[in-house]
Amino acid sequence: GQQVMQIPQYQHVQEGEDFTTYCNSSTTLSNIQWYKQRPGGHPVFLIQLVKSGEVKKQKRLTFQFGEAKKNSSLHITATQTTDVGTYFCAGPDSNSGYALNFGKGTSLLVTP
């Protein structure tokens, strides 16, 4: 089945620095979704990417879907302490009836 790999596992930045997390799939994805989970919280949906080469922006967050629809990235410009949390990419897994299979996540720590 589909394996979603995500790097880095951890990232520690100073407030104001940029941050990027990368997601790679072993198979072509029909779509990819991104979630944020704050410490002690639950995953919260950020965005879904569907089209090859798609780029979407949400304020300081930029999401990209690769041309081959096998990779994706999330870039945060000028991080803030409110960005702290774990960012997960997730793709539908054919072995699970196309339910979401989550990557291992990237934990972001931002120090002021």
Contacting residues toward another protein, per CB under 8 A: 30-31, 33, 35, 41-48, 50, 88, 92-93, 96-105, 107
Shortest approach of another protein to residue 75 CB, angstroms? 19
Smaller CB separation from another protein, 83 or 93: 93
- Residue closer to another protein, measured from CB, 8 or 41: 41
Report, in Å, the least distance between residue 78 CB and another protein. 25
Q: In what order do the strands lie in the sheet with 71-76?
A: 4-7, 19-25, 71-76, 61-65, 55-58
| Shortest CB 16 distance to another protein, Å | 26
Q: What is the DSSP string of the chain?
A: ---EEEE-SEEEEETT--EEEEEEESS--S-EEEEEE-TTS--EEEEEE-STT-EEEETTEEEEE-TTSSEEEEEESS--GGG-EEEEEEEEEGGGTTEEEE---EEEEEE-
Instruction: Tell me the closest approach of the beta carbon of residue 32 to another protein, in angstroms.
Output: 10
The residue (of 50 and 68) whose beta carbon lies closer to another protein is 50
Cβ closest to another protein, residue 52 vs residue 78: 52
